[in-house]
């Protein structure tokens, strides 16, 4: 089978001017976002798309072309929209609360500084700027989780959400059967025996990776995502956790901050976390990290607790990395919370059928990568639904 090749970053994003800005500094480590501005002249304030990359919260970077949906670039160009694509701290060097802290900082920068930043740096936008009243937030996989989290942080500022196979139900056994982290130090709390960790006895367990941080993925690419034909050894996870802990305990804390990893580096770690259900121990056990628990808390507090934006979810029914059941649960919980808002009179201008659009299609994790609105009616319909709520 021929290798799939991608153009260089410059060629892939050729329709945009790209500006990089540091939106946060942690222990002298800059955390950056890219601002993609269409090269076409604007006709008015540009709407905004905030896009979070995936990578299982342990890998990925903001402008990795193979993971950046081409349909999103086309969509942004069609609507003269600016794209904000940030990096954020990664596990296990950081914890889940650190990641949410970064996302909160991104939104603070965006809501207070983006307009002036774009006007000053892009000559075609001096009379246009950005429309902070028309913000769409999107992301894939882990990025889909961050899109949901963003909407829960700023429900009144985000117009619509497009979440692509999101890691929505991180409390599910698929992610946490190894336990949630509870010691506050990022140390492994995984107490199952080696036999339990290798419970799929029909599959051989591979040897440990020879070195922490070695680019992985070459073996994984042979057989698809989790249909590897073998289990990755959990010691891959332990080595990364130990290295992150040692880095935090060293004299130089800068080494403990990691906010960008270009695939295929760390893909073996990501797959091992999913195979052994150990993401929870790296993420943390705070309720704010788990969207379904946050939504439950919102309903318990009453209708006035939040005004949720409309949510469109796209998920493959054959996804073995992020099970589709999580998106189904999220859709039900989102709609239930929306209905409570309607009943409470908080959103009289909204209709219940505006709450959620759940698009389920046959396919594995990342199935939509080759889709386009021109040839795929299901995607065209979904993007139309989003645009109606984002731009009106």
Domain residue spans of the chain: 1-392
Contact 142, 245 (CB under 8 A): no
Does 269 have pLDDT greater than 70? Answer: yes
Residues with Cβ < 8 Å from 329, sequence gap 6 or more? Answer: 168, 169, 292
Backbone angles phi, psi at 83, to 5 degrees: -110, 130
**pTM for this one?**
0.85
pLDDT of residue 7: 56
Q: Is 186 left (phi over 0), alpha (psi -120 to 50) or beta?
A: left
Backbone angles phi, psi at 372, to 5 degrees: -145, 150
Does 12 have pLDDT greater than 50? Answer: yes
Residues with Cβ < 8 Å from 225, sequence gap 6 or more? Answer: 271, 320, 321, 364, 365, 366
User: Which tokens in the block code for residue 385?
Assistant: 């639904």
The count of C-alpha atoms lying within 13 angstroms of the C-alpha of 254, restricted to the half-sphere facing its C-beta, is: 5
Q: Is 363 left (phi over 0), alpha (psi -120 to 50) or beta?
A: left
Instruction: Read off the DSSP letter of residue 317.
Output: T
Tell me the CATH number for domain 1-392: 3.40.50.1820
CA distance 19 to 34: 6
Contact 274, 321 (CB under 8 A): yes
User: Which tokens in the block code for residue 248?
Assistant: 């935090």
Q: What is the pLDDT of residues 365-381, one digit of tens each?
A: 999 988 999 999 999 99
CA distance 309 to 318: 28
Banded pLDDT at 161 (limits 50, 70, 90): very high
Q: What is the pLDDT of residues 315-338, one digit of tens each?
A: 999 998 999 999 999 999 999 999
Contact 163, 311 (CB under 8 A): yes
Cis ω for the linkage preceding 92 (within 30 of 0):
yes
DSSP 148-193: HHHHHH-TTT--EEEEES----TTSHHHHTT----SSS--------
């Amino acid at each position: 089978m021929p290798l799939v090749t991608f153009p260089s970053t410059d060629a892939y994003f050729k329709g945009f001017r790209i500006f990089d800005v540091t939106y946060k500094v942690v222990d002298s480590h800059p955390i950056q976002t890219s601002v993609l501005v269409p090269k076409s002249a604007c006709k008015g304030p540009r709407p905004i798309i905030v896009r979070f990359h995936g990578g299982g919260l342990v890998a990925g970077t903001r402008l990795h072309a193979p993971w950046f949906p081409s349909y999103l670039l086309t969509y942004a160009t069609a609507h003269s929209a600016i794209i904000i694509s940030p990096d954020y701290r990664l596990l296990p060097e950081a914890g889940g609360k650190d990641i949410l802290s970064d996302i909160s900082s991104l939104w603070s920068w965006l809501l207070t500084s983006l307009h002036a930043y774009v006007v000053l740096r892009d000559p075609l936008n001096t009379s246009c700027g950005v429309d902070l009243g028309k913000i769409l937030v999107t992301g894939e996989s882990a990025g889909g989780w961050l899109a949901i989290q963003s909407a829960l942080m700023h429900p009144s500022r985000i117009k619509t959400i497009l979440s692509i196979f999101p890691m929505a139900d991180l409390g599910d056994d698929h992610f946490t059967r190894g336990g949630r982290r509870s010691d506050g130090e990022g140390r492994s709390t995984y107490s199952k025996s080696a036999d339990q960790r290798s419970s799929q006895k029909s599959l051989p367990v591979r040897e440990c990776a020879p070195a922490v941080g070695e680019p992985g993925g070459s073996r994984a690419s042979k057989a698809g995502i989790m249909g590897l034909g073998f289990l990755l050894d959990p010691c891959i996870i332990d080595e990364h956790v130990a290295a992150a802990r040692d880095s935090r305990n060293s004299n130089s804390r800068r080494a403990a901050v990691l906010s960008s990893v270009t695939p295929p580096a760390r893909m073996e770690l990501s797959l091992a976390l999913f195979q052994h259900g150990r993401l929870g121990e790296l993420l943390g056990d705070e309720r704010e990290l788990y969207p379904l628990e946050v939504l439950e808390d919102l309903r318990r507090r009453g209708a006035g607790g939040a005004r949720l934006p409309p949510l469109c979810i796209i998920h493959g029914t054959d996804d073995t990395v992020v099970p589709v059941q999580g998106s189904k649960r999220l859709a039900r919980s989102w709609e239930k919370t929306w209905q409570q808002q309607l009943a409470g009179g908080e959103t009289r201008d909204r209709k219940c059928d505006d709450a959620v659009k759940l698009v389920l299609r046959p396919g594995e994790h990342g199935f939509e990568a080759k889709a386009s609105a021109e040839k795929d009616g299901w995607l065209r319909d979904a993007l139309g639904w989003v645009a109606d709520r984002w731009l009106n």
